[in-house]
Structure formats: structure tokens, C-alpha cells
Structure 1
Amino acid sequence: MDVTIYGPLRSSTGGKRVSVDFGGGTVRDAVDAFVDAYPRAEGHLFGDDGRLASSVRLSVDGASAEPDDPCPADASLSVHPAMRGG
């Protein structure tokens, strides 16, 4: 799966686009596979309760997606991490 990363999350991957092994499932499964491959990304995406932060935005093949939506193995995932500040 190709993953495009935005904002401060890039410091966890070293680049804007990465490839992650993913066999298909839900969008949450894809995010979990991404975090397995890039553990430093976890703090940018999840709250202390282990839930995906409400300000994280995800898209699959260019369309906005929710964590429970299906995600095929050959999809392109875009991840916009939680933003902090004010």
C-alpha cells in the first residue's frame, strides 16, 4: 500500500510517500500497518486512550474515509495527522 503523509508526521517516516505491507481490511487496519512499519508515527495519530485522534483525517484513493471503512490492499492511503496549537 502506498501511504502519503502530511505535516509533522513526515518526521516519523523520513519522506512524504512510503510503502507499507498491507493485505487489506479496514482503514484502521491500514493505519495500524502504517504504525507497525513506522512506530514513531503513533504519537501523532493516537490519543492516550489508544483511539485515533479526532483531528486525524484519512483518505483512501482520494476520498475521505472513516476508520471502519473498507480499505483494499492496493489502495492509496493519505494521512493528515492531528494538529496542535492554536
Structure 2
Amino acid sequence: MDVTVYGPLRAATEAKTVEVTVDGDTVGAVITAFVDAYPRAESQLVDEGGDLRPSVRVMVDGDSADRDERVPPDATIELFPAMRGG
């Protein structure tokens, strides 16, 4: 599944869009697969308990999605980590 990343996540992936192998059909499965493939991104996406950080936005086909929402196999996934600064 293709995942497009923004902001500091590009430092972990070294590309705007990457392909990850997902075992499951939920946003949570996509996040888990992404973190497994790019461990440097973990601290930007999930907290110590493994929950998605509240400031992280996940878009599925252009719509905001929660961790438990289903992801169609051909969906467009975008990850927006928390941005710092002001």
C-alpha cells in the first residue's frame, strides 16, 4: 500500500511516497506496518503506549480517519505528524 508522508516523516522515509506491506485493513494496521518499515518515524506517530498521538492526522482518500477505520486496498493514505514551532 502506498503511503504519502509530510513534514519530518520524510527524514525517516527519505521519500514523499513509500510502499508498505500491510497485514490488515484498518488505519491501525497501516500505522503498524509503516512503523515496522520505518522505525525512526515511531516517536512522531505513536506514544509510549502505542496509541496514535492526538496531533497526528491520517487521511484515507482525502478524509480524516481514526485508527479503527477500514482502509480499502486501493486507498490513498496520507500521514501528517505533529508540527512543532510557531
- TM-score, length-scaled by structure 1: 0.89
Stretch deviating more after TM superposition (62-71 or 42-51): 42-51
Cα drift, residue 23 of structure 1: 4.2
Which residue of structure 2 aligns with residue 39 of structure 1?
39
* SS of the residue 1:79 aligns to: strand
Alpha-carbon RMSD: 1.3
Stretch deviating more after TM superposition (30-39 or 67-76): 67-76
Q: 2: distance between equivalents of 1:55 and 1:21?
A: 25
Identity between Structure 1 and Structure 2 (%): 55
Which residue of structure 2 aligns with residue 56 of structure 1?
56
Cα drift, residue 76 of structure 1: 1.7
Matched residues, number = 86
Q: 2: distance between equivalents of 1:46 and 1:29?
A: 13
Query: Could you report, residue by residue, the CA deviation over 1:8-45 in whole angstroms, capped at 9, with x for unpaired residues?
Result: 11000001100111244210111111111111110111
Counterpart of 2:11 in structure 1: which amino acid? S
Which residue of structure 2 aligns with residue 78 of structure 1?
78
Instruction: Report which of the two has the higher share of strand.
Output: 1
Which residue of structure 2 aligns with residue 26 of structure 1?
26
Which residue of structure 1 aligns with residue 68 of structure 2?
68
Cα drift, residue 67 of structure 1: 0.7
Q: 8 Å contact 1:23–1:73 — kept in the other structure? A: no
Cα drift, residue 73 of structure 1: 2.6
Q: 2: distance between equivalents of 1:30 and 1:72?
A: 11
**Structure 2 unaligned spans of 5+:** none
